[in-house]
Amino acid sequence: MSGAPEPTPEHDDSTDAEVVLSVRDLEVSFGTKRGRAEVVRGLDYDLHRGETLAIVGESGSGKSVSTLALTKLIPIPPGRGTGTAHLGDTDLISLSEAELVHVRGQRIGFVFQDPMTSLNPVHTIGRQLTEGMRHHLGLSEAAARDRAVELLAKVGIPSPEDRLGDYPHQFSGGMRQRVVIAIGLSCDPEVLIADEATTALDVTTQAQIIDLIAELQADLGMAVVWITHDLGVVAGIADRVLVMYAGEVVEQADAPELLSRPRHPYTVGLLASLPVLGDTERGDLAAIPGLPPPPTSLPPGCGFYPRCSFRSDERCATERPPLREVVAGHLVRSFYEVPEEQSRRASAATRIAIEPPDVRDEGVA
Amino acid sequence: MGRYVLRRTAQAAVALLGVSIVVFALIHLVPGDPVRPALGTRFDQELYETLIARAGLDQPLLLQYWNWLTSALTGDLGVSFRTGQPVTGALLQRLPATMLLAFAALLVGLLIALPAGIVSAVRQGRPVDYAASSFSQIGVSVPDFWFGLLLILVFARSLGWLPPSGYVSPLEDPVEAIRRLILPATTAGVVTGAILTRFVRSSVLEAMGAEHVRLARAKGMPERYILRHHVLRNAWIPVVTITGLQLATLLGGIVVVEVVFAWPGIGRLALDAVVRRDYPVLQGAVLLIATGFLLINLLVDLLYARLDPRITTS
Amino acid sequence: MTEPTHDPAEELQAPDEPSEPRWRETLSALLKNRLAAAGMIVLALLILSAVFADLVAPYAYTDGDIVRRLEPPGRDHWFGTDELGRDVLSRVIFGARVSLQVGAVAVGISLMVGTLIGLISGYRGGWIDAVLMRTMDVLFSFPVVLLAIAIVAVLTPSLRNTMIAIGVVFTPIFARGVRGSVLSVREEVYVRASRSLGASDWRIISRHVLPNVAAPVIVQTSLSLAFAILTEAALSYLGIGVQPPRPAWGLMLLDAQGFIPTGAWWMSLFPGLAIFLTVMALNLVGDGLRDALDPKQRSIIQSRGVT
């Protein structure tokens, strides 16, 4: 397939910025011993320049796989991605391995979860930072080095020129993640994919890294896909949020809208289960009971049906709910909506829990 | 780093002390008189007493050990009960042949194991992988001396391509030396290669599964580059270690191969000493090989520390 | 995939109570592993022919017909005859007896002594542990075959001393492995709990420690058997193991080498093949057991690079 993506019908009024990445009908499945595992079941989204899209879900929801599949970073042979994913004019899904090498790292940068393991212990960070630039941008050793120093300074590593020769174990976890971010940004990618990039870090470092990426984004103008299980992180950075469950989008909206008025039972459950700092009375830390269905045997109706405490439509058990646009730009995969009162209660707790960045700034001043 | 070297060296020294005690004890654990059987039918009271005195067997045990140890440290390992010649000289004369065979075998082993292990890891689950696994499974189960006999049967007796046994110094006749070296080195090397293949494969597999390899791929580095700089560069640290250990093991196990091919090395000397009840020679040979074994292990650990920046820079 | 698990139940789960090794599951897992199953069949045949050697072997191992010496394999003698006209097949069958016996007794010795040392060392700790483990370290500092040769040299070569020598050589492997397992079990919550409830040492060892140590020890036993049989064959081949007229495989190969110039290949081929098949069968069963009992455990022999 080729050609520019069609405009997105449901989301053309929210921003004028150009679409960098346009994903349509993305499906990913694996052959396993227990049958075909449908890990991603039809995903559509547009990512605009300068925008941060958060993809939220539990482990196994398909959130990571859906982005890794874009550049075939899941090399399990029986795994297949279908659909289209246009990065500019290029459909990533149709690219060969040889062509993808020029997308990875160059047009799409990645930051992974664990900074303790994502750097190679036997090479200096200078080497790991420059190898991509030399390969993709054809920089000379000296030029790559200069740029590496610049990048390290940009991600907040003190006296960067002295640290190029250091090995990863000589850095703290947070500093290592800064290095990984520098690597992700080194070739000026159009899209940066941060896969649980702050999950392995302590809370303070987490906040620093989130702020850093937000700053860099404002500075460089790239689009960010932020994959996380933590809605608390989402509030701090996301422009739009995509909630995934059992391989499909269950709710999608602008971040403020989604956090203040969640409409899917799963989103409501996720928000309600966020811990609230300093609140000891809310003892019923409402974790959603049960586990997601295994991708090899998905229920015939709504994927969330077995764990849902709101279910109020007989079709829930038998029919896969459609993704409906309930308010402009707010999509919900459900036959009904969670009543406003419960929705507000869950999100009220959230507001205390996560303090959006503007509140934080005012609090400090 | 400095402290690590010191600590590891001290450990080796302690182990060596333990080894020396065991080797010293050998002669005293022999039931009855250790000297008399060595003389056999040519018994001579005067010679007997000389040998007892020379070995210090008429002194208190602790003093004996002290004397033996201090002489050993100065390179004096006593004299043979059989020939009356210094043990050290006999050992030094045999050492080159053993070293030559051990290193040649290690070379053969590496020539097999590096390609086989790497290819089978990269092509995991494919036919090449199964072939390599079968080879190493067979190789670790084959008795080396039997394999040597088969090689002699085929290449010396039936085909007549190579001499069945014997050693020629490479300084005298390099071509003949190599012809004589091929069969014994292959015998010891194939078994070594089988063991190494497993390790190379599993090291490479482990390195391939590392998270930083995934990041390197996400960086858009080409597969060949990743294999070379992010997989093999990491896998070769354990491989170097295990290769060193394998050299140590070779040194210990080479006795048998030396006997198969009538190779005049330390191992043969030790075996002859056992048969002739020439305990000082046996002690010397065991001490030499065990010391070599310990030293190689020590060097391997130190080398490992050199190769791994996590140890070097902390 | 890299997502963290967020199943709180997983974190709260109590450590598995040490259960009896699950024999039934282990066995079925072992039989499903085709290589291990093949190994078990070969082993079963070997054991049967060793036990019933008198019935299975066509000739007695001492029976020689000097007229029909060095006869190649044929109808009367499937594996040919040796330099004294003895039937090689029969000698190979009787040789299984010696090999399996030496292997079993030697590994039995190291299993018992090593486990005991490991238990005491790991459970008691302190200076006892230090002394025992330094001793094991010293034994470990010798190459295996060399140490066996040295021990046999002191004790004089015989069947019994071969068993003792090999038994001593393999003791440190078991001692170290068991000690390691004991150390890790000792600090488990349930063990500390039962200690605080006043359970006796023996009870803790038999109820908690031994069952946890069992799996690695079983795997190690199987792999050590393979290596013990190889070592016995080597010692016998060197002429310092099993002594004639007993028909040991290694000894037969020592004989055979003298007749290679005459082209009597069958004398070399069959005894060696017997060693090879036995060792391979034990290795396959050992690997299968390891996968079935404890996929994480890597045998100590393997990690030493000796196998």
pLDDT tens digits along C11-28: 333 334 444 456 677 777
Is A196 in contact with C2 (Cβ distance < 8 A)?
yes
To probe the interface with B, which of A100, A120, A137, A186 has the most B CB atoms within 10 Å?
Answer: A120
d(CA B271, CA B285): 9
B63, B87, B111: which is the final residue of a domain? Answer: B87
What pLDDT sits at residue A308? 81
- pLDDT reading at A362 higher than 60: no
d(CA A213, CA A191): 12
Residue B313 located in a structural domain? no
Is B259 in contact with C238 (Cβ distance < 8 A)?
yes
For residue B141, what are its two tokens? Answer: 């189960």
Compute the mean pLDDT over every residue in chain B, rounded to the nearest whole number. 86
- pLDDT reading at B20 higher than 70: yes
How much of chain C, in percent, has pLDDT values that exceed 70?
Answer: 88
- pLDDT reading at A346 higher than 70: yes
Task: Report chain C residues whose CB lies below 8 A from the CB of B242.
Answer: 305
Strand A19-32 and strand A223-228: the pairing is unpaired
A9-23, A274-288, B52-66: segment of lowest average pLDDT:
A274-288
Spatial CA neighbour of B83 closest among B126, B54, B120, B113: B54
d(CA C301, CA C226): 11
Same domain for B139 and B283?
yes
Q: Which residue has the higher pLDDT, C210 or B188?
A: B188
Strands (E), chain C: none
Confidence of residue A224 (pLDDT cuts 50, 70, 90): very high
In A303-324, which positions are buried (b, 16+ CB within 10 angstroms) versus exposed (e)?
Answer: bbbebbebbeeeebeeebbebe
Task: Report chain B residues whose CB lies below 8 A from the CB of A101.
Answer: 220-222
- Which DSSP state fits A56? E
d(CA C221, CA C108): 8
Is B221 in contact with A122 (Cβ distance < 8 A)?
no
A311, C136, C166, C206, C298 from C217: Cα distances, Å: 54, 17, 17, 15, 12
Residue with tokens 């950075």: A237
* pLDDT (average), residues A112-128: 88
B59, B87, B115: which is the final residue of a domain? Answer: B87
Task: Report chain B residues whose CB lies below 8 A from the CB of C138.
Answer: 15, 18-19, 21-22
Q: Which residue has the higher pLDDT, C305 or A289?
A: A289
- pLDDT reading at C217 higher than 50: yes
Three-state DSSP class for B247?
Answer: helix
What pLDDT sits at residue A277? 53
Task: Report chain A residues whose CB lies below 8 A from the CB of B225.
Answer: 131, 135
- pLDDT reading at A318 higher than 90: no
Contact B295, B12 (CB under 8 A): yes
Same domain for B252 and B120?
yes
What pLDDT sits at residue C19? 46
What pLDDT sits at residue B162? 84
Contact A193, A158 (CB under 8 A): no
What pLDDT sits at residue A146? 92
What pLDDT sits at residue B142? 92
Tell me how crowded residue B179 is: count the other CB atoms within 10 A of its CB.
15
A283: buried, middle or exposed (CB in 10 Å: 19+, 13-18, 0-12)? exposed
Is C2 in contact with A195 (Cβ distance < 8 A)?
yes
C62, C63, C89 from C76: Cα distances, Å: 16, 14, 10
* pLDDT (average), residues A161-189: 90
Is A196 in contact with C1 (Cβ distance < 8 A)?
no
What's the start-to-end Cα distance of chain C, in Å? Answer: 34
C206: buried, middle or exposed (CB in 10 Å: 19+, 13-18, 0-12)? exposed
Interface of C with B in 169-228 (CB under 8 A): 226
Interface of C with B in 3-32 (CB under 8 A): none
d(CA B314, CA C91): 61
What pLDDT sits at residue B147? 93
Strand A19-32 and strand A35-48: the pairing is antiparallel
Residues of chain A whose beta carbon is less than 8 angstroms from a beta carbon of chain B are 71, 73, 100-106, 110, 112, 114, 117-123, 131-132, 135-136, 167, 169-170, 180, 183, 187
Q: Name all chains with 3 or more CB-CB pairs below 8 Å to chain A.
A: B, C
For residue B135, what are its two tokens? Answer: 């080879």
Residue B78: which region, alpha, beta or left (left: phi > 0; alpha: psi -120 to 50)?
Answer: left
Q: Which residue has the higher pLDDT, C267 or A48?
A: A48
Q: Residue A64 is nearest to which of C1, C5, C7, comparing CB atoms? A: C1
Q: Does domain C26-61+75-306 have CATH number 1.10.3720.10?
A: yes
What's the start-to-end Cα distance of chain A, in Å? Answer: 53
Q: In total, how many domains does chain B have?
A: 2
Q: Quick: pLDDT tens for B126-142.
A: 898 999 988 988 988 99
For residue C149, what are its two tokens? Answer: 């040769």
Spatial CA neighbour of B246 closest among C227, C305, C223, C144: C305
Asked if the C-beta of B81 comes within 8 angstroms of chain C's C-beta atoms, the answer is no
- pLDDT reading at A93 higher than 80: yes
Compute the mean pLDDT over every residue in chain C, rounded to the nearest whole number. 79
To probe the interface with B, which of C131, C133, C142 has the most B CB atoms within 10 Å?
Answer: C142
Compute the mean pLDDT over every residue in chain A, rounded to the nearest whole number. 81
Confidence of residue B311 (pLDDT cuts 50, 70, 90): low
Residues paired with A228 in a beta bridge: A56
Q: Which residue has the higher pLDDT, A315 or C299?
A: A315
Is A170 in contact with B215 (Cβ distance < 8 A)?
no
Same domain for B31 and B174?
no
What pLDDT sits at residue A10? 46
d(CA B33, CA B41): 15
**Count of H-run helices and E-run strands, chain A:** 12, 12
Phi, psi for residue A21 in degrees, rounded to 5? -130, 130
B87, B110, B126: which is the final residue of a domain? Answer: B87
Residues paired with A111 in a beta bridge: A194
Enter the pTM of the model.
0.79
A207, A233, A313, A354, C22 from A203: Cα distances, Å: 6, 10, 40, 12, 44
Is A135 in contact with B222 (Cβ distance < 8 A)?
yes
- C-alpha count within 13 angstroms, C-beta hemisphere, residue C43: 21
Q: Residue C276 is nearest to which of B30, B141, B293, comparing CB atoms? A: B141
What pLDDT sits at residue C275? 92
To probe the interface with C, which of B274, B278, B279, B283 has the most C CB atoms within 10 Å?
Answer: B274
- pLDDT reading at C3 higher than 50: no
d(CA A89, CA A2): 7
Same domain for B77 and B149?
no
Same domain for B229 and B154?
yes
CATH number of the domain encompassing residue B162:
1.10.3720.10
What pLDDT sits at residue A242? 93
d(CA A256, CA C56): 85
Contact A305, A320 (CB under 8 A): no
Tell me how crowded residue B42 is: count the other CB atoms within 10 A of its CB.
8
Confidence of residue B102 (pLDDT cuts 50, 70, 90): very high
- pLDDT reading at B100 higher than 80: yes
Distance from the Cα of A296 to chain C's closest Cα (Å) equals 16
**Count of H-run helices and E-run strands, chain B:** 14, 0
Is C280 in contact with B141 (Cβ distance < 8 A)?
yes
For residue B177, what are its two tokens? Answer: 């030396």
- pLDDT reading at B209 higher than 60: yes
Q: Does domain A19-245 have CATH number 3.20.20.70?
A: no
One-letter amino acid for residue A289 of the chain: P
A10, A14, A132 from A191: Cα distances, Å: 22, 19, 16
- pLDDT reading at C300 higher than 70: no
Is C275 in contact with B143 (Cβ distance < 8 A)?
yes
Confidence of residue C268 (pLDDT cuts 50, 70, 90): confident
Task: Report chain C residues whose CB lies below 8 A from the CB of A59.
Answer: 1, 3-6
What pLDDT sits at residue A225? 93
What SS3 string covers A63-124? HHHHHHHHHCCCCCCCCEEEEEEEECCEEHHHCCHHHHCCCECCCEEEECCCCCCCCCCCCC
Distance from the Cα of A27 to chain B's closest Cα (Å) equals 20
DSSP string for B128-154: HHHHHHHHHHHHHHS-HHHHHHHHIII
Q: Residue C138 is nearest to which of B19, B31, B277, comparing CB atoms? A: B19
What's the start-to-end Cα distance of chain B, in Å? Answer: 7
Tell me how crowded residue B308 is: count the other CB atoms within 10 A of its CB.
18
Task: Report chain B residues whose CB lies below 8 A from the CB of A136.
Answer: 220
Q: Which domain holds residue B128?
A: 93-308
Is C2 in contact with A63 (Cβ distance < 8 A)?
no
**Count of H-run helices and E-run strands, chain C:** 14, 0
- pLDDT reading at C122 higher than 50: yes
Three-state DSSP class for A223?
Answer: strand
Residue B280 located in a structural domain? yes
d(CA A245, CA A268): 13
Cis peptide before A5 (omega within 30 of 0): no
Q: Where are the domains of chain C?
A: 26-61+75-306
Q: Where are the domains of chain A?
A: 19-245, 263-351
Task: Report chain A residues whose CB lies below 8 A from the CB of B311.
Answer: none
Spatial CA neighbour of C166 closest among C221, C227, C116: C227
Asked if the C-beta of C269 comes within 8 angstroms of chain B's C-beta atoms, the answer is yes
Most confident of A118-127, B44-53, B233-242, C210-219: A118-127
Distance from the Cα of C284 to chain B's closest Cα (Å) equals 8
* pLDDT (average), residues B258-279: 89
Contact C119, C206 (CB under 8 A): no
* pLDDT (average), residues B162-168: 84
- pLDDT reading at A67 higher than 70: yes
What pLDDT sits at residue B119? 93
Three-state DSSP class for B173?
Answer: coil
What pLDDT sits at residue A276? 58
Contact A205, A18 (CB under 8 A): no
CA dihedral for B51, B53, B57, B58, sign (positive or negative): positive
Spatial CA neighbour of A329 closest among A255, A235, A266: A255
Residue B53 located in a structural domain? yes
Task: Report chain B residues whose CB lies below 8 A from the CB of A114.
Answer: 211
d(CA C109, CA C170): 9
Cα angle C270, C276, C277; round to 5: 90
Residue with tokens 């021990």: C151
To probe the interface with C, which of A39, A56, A59 has the most C CB atoms within 10 Å?
Answer: A59
